[in-house]
Amino acid sequence: MTTLIINKKEYEVNLLGHETLLEVLRDKLSLTGTKTSCQESECGACTVNIDKKAILSCITLAVDVVGKEITTIEGLADGENLHPVQQAFLDHGSAQCGFCIPGMIMSCKALLDNNQKPNQEEMEYALDGNICRCTGYLKIFNAIRAAGTQMKAHV
Amino acid sequence: MLLNPLTYHSPKTALEAAQLYSNLPEARILAGGTFLLNNLKQLKKKGLKTPRNIISLKHIEELKGIVANKEKLIIKSMTVINDVFNSPHLTDNFSVLRTVCRNISTNPIRNMATVGGNLTSRYTWTELGAVLIALEADMHFTGPDGKEEIISVEDFLKNNARSSTIFTHVSIKKNKEHSFAYQRIRKLSYIDVPMLAVCVRTTFKGDRFTDTHAVMNNCVNFAQRDLVLEEFLNKSSRRNGVAEEALNHLDTKIYDIRGDDYKKAVFRVSIKNAIKDLINQKEKNDHPDH
Amino acid sequence: MKTIFDKKYINPVGKSVPKIDGKGIVTGQQKYVFDVSFPNMLVAKMIRSPHPHARIISIDTSKAEKLPGVKAIVTAIDTHNIKFGSNEYFFPHTVDQQALEADKVRYIGDEIGAVAAVDEETVDEALKLIDVQYEILPAVFDMEEAIKPGAPQIHEAMNNIAVILPVNFGNPERIMKEADYVREDVFYTQAAAHCSMEPHVCVGQFETFSNKVTLWSSSQAPFKCREALAKCLKMDLNDVRVIKLAVGGGFGSKLEMHPMDFAAVVLSKKCGGLPVKICYTREEEFAFSRRKHAMKYKVKTGIKKDGTILAMTGEVLADGGAYCSYGPTVIAAAIMRIFMVYKLQHFRISGYRIYTNTPISGAIRGFGGVQSGFAIESHIDLLARGIGMDPVEFRLKNITRPNMVTVNKMLLTSNGLRDCIEKAAAAADWKNKYNKQKHLCRGMGIGIAADVMGSKMYKSHESAGSIVKVEEDGSVYLFTGAADTGQGSNTALSQIAAQELGVSYSRIRCKSGDTEITPFDTGSFASRVTFISGNATKRAANDAKKQILTIVAQELKFNIDDLDIAAEEVINTKDKSVLMNFDKALELCYSFNYGRQIIGRGSYNPKTTPVDFRTGEGNISGSYGFEAQIAEVEVNKETGEVKILKVWDAHDIGKAINPQQVEGQIEGSIAMGIGYSLYEDLKFKNGRVANANFANYRLPKSLGTPAIETILIETDEKEGPFGAKGMGEASLLPTSAAIANAIEDAVGVRIKELPITPDKILKALKEKEQAKTN
């Protein structure tokens, strides 16, 4: 049995060695918040944070990230209290069908953890691996700006 | 499951990795995983044989990081693209690396893909090759016997990949004289895979181009130098029209191979703009107030 | 009794309240069928034809059936061989598809069976063991080849023409002779993909002891799916239940029953009732689900020198792929939309939907309007240029007006088109920028469009139903058959319910898209939900309100006509005094003396007339939406790359129930429109999709997102709930033309083929240079 540290909790998993992190999250641990739309690193729906960086779980071997700090969408809210990024997405109408959103939010969080005042170019480059078919991205940029302000105020 | 069963190895030193690589049957190196994992999925989908042993370099600390001293920049092979992009050591001639790293693939991939993977993958459209040839970088390898081998990036890309040695780092000599220009065209608007890339480096001695490296990535062959263009530029000065005239002095087989009319046209546009960029940089350096 | 309302969400119509299901989305807890897993659930895949055109000689599944872990295999012999077609009501002869084909396969990927097993590895093994003998037939991939005599016949249709729509009015040939300027143009639009982020996925379960079917499906139209499923299973509607959960995008690809839905259920039946899940890979999404009709759009128009359009003729050829799906209505829409925007009396355009041995072309956002938008709006611009008239002025001269009946009998009631054009032009500073930025290689282009609210392609009626149930504790349940696929219909309908009932939006819970529980609704298409389902919801909320007020009236001995509920209070409408709050009124209803369940019902059928799709005549929609879009572009003359600087979109939506959601739909549509205009292109090689992945079929991403300014114009449509019309598609329709028109303004070349890729622009610039020197 191996221990994976996910959302600050320890999960005991029987890893065979060839599972991707995506499969472990969704199929073994029922953490179905992380999605996939292509399974070949193009869509970004499987984005999680590992050691505070945006990482694609569909091309990560689970066994390779033992001991790392893994954060998924399920780890952002604190009970009823949403993370500023989540709240900003709600306030700004940044989600429509929602399928890309967990991955999108994880990319936004990784950006904002590093830089609470990203400019337009920095935002565009940070999200260039997350495909959204519904929103056209503008309201997502609005949410990032708002969440950044909020996060800066509470530092 | 997306992948076939495999045996995972996690060495802690480059030497251990090199020894495993030379001893284990059907072994592949896992660096960032951005090429290998998708490759393994494709092989399984097609019902083809997949490697039994995967050697992960992820936990080898000595292979991570960027070190700069007075003479050289050393980028270790497991450094990810975004860490190169964000490095404060990219000064002088190294600053062109920032330009190149900016547009490689997408953000999460830039967090995972390594310099080592980019250079040693057998894909012709990877981008670090051209710029590192222009920087005259050397690649350092460790074999299972602990011996170090050094080969220039240019020679490495000309020959086949090494076996049973582990690529540990690139070293690049600092040079304040060199100017760099980099142009790239995306395969289709908004596609991260380049259709072509042009990296031109020169040292201006007065008005003349000297010691020019013109490295082309036509994404069909590995990055290579256009010696015809270099010869022309090294005989030229930065006068009006030299960029346009340079287009008559090209090793055309680099540009015309498997290229449609559009690619050939924008390749020439990119070369012209790269030369003009170098000239503009020289202008700026000579007259910083303008 | 809990008071659970949030004061800021009172009178929610017109406010950008947060999505009702938003919290589930941002926490990753919202469940899609993609996430569903049941105990003992099996995994299944379709058995597909590797040939574009072949006769099925035999299917031998015996080896596969012996493989351990395989639980059921079905082919046509396990079915009733019933054909279905999505446009069957209006075009009965287009019922051309069997869920599992028995005799012939007509495109690479055509489904002939399905295999269910304990895991994906076993299914893949089993598929390899299935032996199908085919007699390969000659195939045809090009639509203009397919209609030639001697081409391989794909169905019984003559010359592979599934449907001809000859739309004729007046005497265009005669009137054309009176024109001062005539021109003809031909436009080509490409096949494209929907690319919903959630692929097609379903779980089917057959309840063996009761002979009932449940299908969980990522669907935009659960009732349509149920109808086709019941037909093919030879079951009663009431024994077939289709449930949609959250849907990760549809855009028209999930509007009908797919063979996978049918197969999941039949597999479940065959293995004794175990749930069976089928989920498409991204490759299957691209190659085997649905695609956009590629079209060749020829149009010829004669105008007077003052810009008045006299007559228009033309021909539309549409590549329909192997089966009909929604093709006929796509062609109809591709032609009929023109009447919504331009005043025309003399008109003849014939539409042909052609079979080819390629993947099925079906409904996709815009329904033919994207193709016709590109063709017509480019053509209009060329007409204006032909007589030296400003494109904005030319359009203003010819557009439709409010409260007019078109030549094909569409009743345009509220019509903000003039306002849209003028406001968009003002916001974009058209006068100072059009034809004035060539030195910067920048240009402006305009395109206009209209939208229907519903399209009667399902049945002759388009009615929707809603139920509003007010619980004892003050929470309110809205049951609607409408299918929220992300556009926010649950939210908008909940706002309408809350507004009409007179309570806070935070009281509403919405249950949608379950054919056993929610009333009938045709689904999410043709921008119909806000208007049609919205009206049904408003009526249901009104009904519930009346039930409450009846009891209050009785208790307080008031005349019910003097009572209303607003802002959570029961008020005397005569003097506006507050009589009691909402919770007190409810307490009364549920008290011993009255004990009355408050269940409001509403049904709405839009006021339309019967539509003859063949001739294009009839008032297809209860109201129409309009918009004008201006794009500003910058062209790199060296590389041919086009940068979209900004897009202005002025949209007549009647009333914005939720302005933020309306903007979101406009921004998303424009992004999709830019994709279709500049780089999305589904390529085929011998009938097979050659770029069936995101690496080679590129979607609009965050890089280079242009600024978008939306101008919402509220014309207050009387027939709509609180004045609202629908929307969701219109902003996609004129984008390609606006961009093409802007490119001509910027660098003087006209591209008549989508997508407008850099190589096409470079080629056109080169030809222009050569023409100059000659």
Number of domains in chain A: 2
* C375 and C441 housed in the same domain: yes
Q: What is the pLDDT of residues C17-76, one digit of tens each?
A: 999 999 999 999 999 999 999 999 999 999 999 999 999 999 999 999 999 999 999 999
What would the mean pLDDT of B134-161 be, rounded to a whole number?
Answer: 92
* pLDDT exceeds cutoff 70 at A57: yes
| Non-local CB neighbours of C174 within 8 Å, separated by 6+ positions | C346
Chain A: nearest CA to C725, how far in angstroms?
Answer: 20
CB C93 within 8 A of CB C305: no
What DSSP element (H or E) covers C735?
Answer: helix C735-747
Name the DSSP class of B161. P
Q: pLDDT tens digits for C130-152?
A: 999 999 999 999 999 999 999 99
Same domain, C425 and C326: yes
Chain B neighbors of A18, CB-CB under 8 A = 1, 3-6, 8
Say whether residue A54 is in contact with chain B using an 8 A CB cutoff. Answer: yes
Q: String of b and e for C651-660 (b: at least 16 CB within 10 Å)?
A: bbbbbbbbbb
Q: Which residue has the higher pLDDT, B159 or B226?
A: B226
CA distance C606 to C601: 17
Give pLDDT, residue C1.
Answer: 41
Strands of C54-60's sheet in order across: C104-105, C54-60, C131-136
Query: A70 falls in which pLDDT band (50, 70, 90)?
Result: very high
Judge whether C312 and C299 are in contact, CB under 8 Å.
yes
Q: Which residue of C has its CA nearest to A32?
A: C35
pLDDT in tens, A101-145: 999 999 999 999 999 999 999 999 999 999 999 999 999 999 999
Q: State whether C277 and C400 are in the same domain.
A: no
Domain contains B185: yes
- Residues A100, A122 within the same domain: yes
Amino acid identity at C22: G
Q: Is B269–C639 a contact, with Cβ atoms under 8 angstroms apart? A: yes
Per-position b or e across B82-118, b if 16+ CB within 10 A of its CB: bbbbebebbeebbebbebbbebbbbbbbbbbbbbbbb
Residue where a domain stops, chosen among B145, B173, B201: B173
Are the beta carbons of B188 and C679 separated by less than 8 Å? Answer: yes
Domain identity same for C683 and C541 = no
CB C352 within 8 A of CB C163: yes
Residues A13 and A63 in one domain: yes
- How far is Cα C554 from Cα C90, in angstroms, rounded to an integer? 50
The whole-angstrom separation of Cα B140 and Cα B152 is: 9
Query: Contact at 8 Å (CB) between C197 and A97?
Result: yes
**C408 and C472 belong to one structural domain:** no
C384 three-class SS: helix
A&B contacts, CB < 8 Å: 80
Which helix (H) or strand (E) segment holds residue C484: the answer is none
Q: Are residues A12 and A56 in the same domain?
A: yes
Q: Are residues C563 and C615 in the same domain?
A: no
Task: Say yes or no for a CB contact (<8 Å) between A44 and B108.
Answer: yes
At residue C464, the pLDDT reads 93
> Cα–Cα distance between C521 and C454 in angstroms, integer?
11
C296/C319 Cα distance (integer angstroms) = 9
Do B105 and B118 lie in one domain? The reply is yes
d(CA C347, CA C167): 8
CA C750 to chain centroid, in Å, comes to 29
**d(C-alpha C758, C-alpha C756), whole Å:** 7
Residue B30 inside a domain? The answer is yes
Beta strands in C548-660 (DSSP E): 563-566, 569-572, 578-581, 598-604, 624-635, 642-652
Residues 6+ apart with CB under 8 A from C699: A131, A133, C195, C675, C680
Spell out the SS3 assignment of C78-97. HCCCCEECCCCCCCHHHCCE
| B108 contacts chain A (CB < 8 A) | yes
Of the residues B173, B188, B222, the one at which a domain ends: B173
CA–CA gap between residue B266 and residue B289 (Å, rounded): 33
CA distances for B170 relative to B91, B129, B150, C676, C705, angstroms:
16, 11, 9, 43, 36
Chain C CA closest to residue B260? C759
ipTM: 0.97
Q: Which of A98, A126, A130 sits opposite C25 (nearest CB)?
A: A98
Answer whether residue C549 is part of any domain. Answer: yes
Q: Are C313 and C348 in contact (CB under 8 A)?
A: yes
Count how many pairs of residues, chain B against chain C, have C-beta atoms within 8 Å: 42
3-state secondary structure C45-76: EEEECCCCCEEEEEEECHHHHHCCCEEEEEEH
Interface residue B38 vs chain A (CB under 8 A): yes
For chain C, give the percent of residues with pLDDT over 70: 99
**Same domain, yes or no, for C746 and C631?**
yes
Same structural domain, A92 and A140: yes
Among residues C492, C470, C596, the alpha carbon closest in space to that of C542 is found at C470
Return the structure tokens found at A96.
């429509």
Bridge partners of B142? B148, B166
User: C25 in a domain, yes or no?
Assistant: yes
pLDDT digits (tens, 9 = 90+) for C434-466: 999 999 999 999 999 998 887 766 677 788 999
Sheet holding C70-75, edge to edge: C70-75, C111-117, C42-48, C276-279, C201-207, C212-217, C240-243
Q: Residue C197 and residue A131: Cβ atoms within 8 Å?
A: yes
For chain C, the helix, strand and coil percentages under 3-state DSSP, each to the nearest 5: 30, 25, 40
Say whether both B111 and B22 belong to one domain: no
Which of A17, A40, A125 is opposite residue B41, by nearest beta carbon?
A40
Q: List phi, psi (to 5°) of A137.
A: 75, -20
Residue C39 forms contact with A (CB below 8 Å): no
Q: Looking at the structure, do residues A147 and A114 belong to the same domain, yes or no?
A: yes
First to last CA, chain A: 38
The DSSP call for residue C361 is B
Same structural domain for residues C623 and C493? no
DSSP state of C693: S
Give the Cα separation of C760 and C678 in Å (integer): 10
Q: State which residues form the domain around B51.
A: 7-56
pLDDT at B39 over 90: yes
| pLDDT score recorded for residue B227 | 97
Bridging pattern class, strands B194-205 and C70-75: unpaired
C26 found inside a domain: yes
Domain containing C270 equals 33-137+199-247+254-288
Average pLDDT rounded to a whole number, residues B97-103:
94
How far apart (Å, rounded) are the C-alpha atoms in residues C493 and C491? 6
Closest CA to C319 of C376, C371, C282: C371
* Residue A92 with chain C: CB contacts under 8 Å: 660
Give the model's pLDDT for residue C46.
98
Res C613: pLDDT: 74
User: Are residues C593 and C644 located together in one domain of the fold?
Assistant: no
* Shared domain check, B23 and B69: no
Query: Using omega within 30 degrees of 0 as the cis cutoff, is the peptide bond preceding C755 cis?
Result: yes
The tokens for C399 are: 């557009």
Q: Which residue has the tokens 């008290």?
A: C591
Determine the residue of chain A that is closest to C489 in CA distance. A96
3-state SS track over A79-142 = CCECCHHHHHHHHCCCCCCCCCHHHHHHHHHHHHHHCCCCCHHHHHHHCCCCCCCCCCCHHHHH
Q: Per the CB < 8 Å rule, is C197 touching A90?
A: no
Q: Which tokens in the block code for residue C68?
A: 């351990």
pLDDT the model gives residue A150 = 94
Do the beta carbons of residue B59 and residue B12 sit within 8 Å?
yes
Phi, psi angle pair for A123, to nearest 5°: -65, -45
Per-residue tokens: C630: 């201006």
Token couple for A90? 């709600």
Domain end among A18, A46, A75: A75
Query: Do A6 and A71 reside in the same domain of the chain?
Result: yes
Q: Which residues 251-270 of B are in CB contact (within 8 Å) with A?
A: none
Measured between beta carbons, the chain B residues lying within 8 angstroms of C757 are 188-189
Residues A31 and A63 in one domain: yes
- For residue B16, being part of any structural domain is answered with yes
Both B119 and B93 in one domain: the answer is: yes
Choosing from A36, A51, A75, the residue where a domain stops is: A75
Q: What is the pLDDT of residue B189?
A: 55
How many independent structural domains does chain C possess?
Answer: 3
Range of the domain at A59: 2-75
Percentages (nearest 5) of helix, strand, coil residues in chain A: 40, 15, 45
A70 and A91 both lie in a single domain: no
Q: Which chain C residues are Cβ-neighbours of B266 within 8 angstroms?
A: 638-640, 758, 762
Distance CA C528, CA C725 (A): 8
Q: How does the average pLDDT of chain B come out, rounded? A: 93
Write the residue in B1, B34, B107 that is nearest to A128 by C-beta. Answer: B107
Which chain C residues have a beta carbon less than 8 Å from that of A34?
28
Among B116, B149, B173, give the residue marking a domain's end: B173
Q: Domain of A31: which CATH number? A: 3.10.20.30
Give the CATH number, domain containing residue C11. 3.30.365.10
Q: How far is CA B50 from CA A23, A59, C129, in A?
A: 19, 16, 22
Q: What pLDDT is recorded for position A149?
A: 96
- Given C552, C587, C604, the domain boundary residue is C604
The answer to whether position C669 is within a domain reads: yes
Same domain, A92 and A147: yes
Tell me how close the Cα of A64 comes to any Cα of chain C, in angstroms: 24
User: What's the pTM value of the predicted model, to 2 decimals?
Assistant: 0.96
pLDDT at A87 over 50: yes
Q: In what order do the strands lie in the sheet with A2-6?
A: A9-13, A2-6, A69-71, A47-50, A53-56
- Of A75, A103, A130, the residue at which a domain comes to its end is A75
Positions of chain C with pLDDT under 70: 1-5, 456-458
Q: Are residues A91 and A66 in the same domain?
A: no
- The total of structural domains in chain B comes to 3
Measured CA to CA, the distance from residue A80 to residue C450 in angstroms comes to 43
Q: Which amino acid is at C422?
A: E
> Which strands make up the sheet holding C294-303, listed edge to edge?
C161-169, C346-355, C309-321, C294-303, C181-189
What pLDDT is recorded for position B219? 92
The Cα-based distances of C422 to A118, B282, C396, C418 in angstroms read 36, 50, 9, 6
Integer Cα distance of A106 and C511 in angstroms: 29
C210: which residues sit within 8 A by CB, 6+ positions away?
Answer: none
User: CB–CB of B109 and A17 under 8 A?
Assistant: no
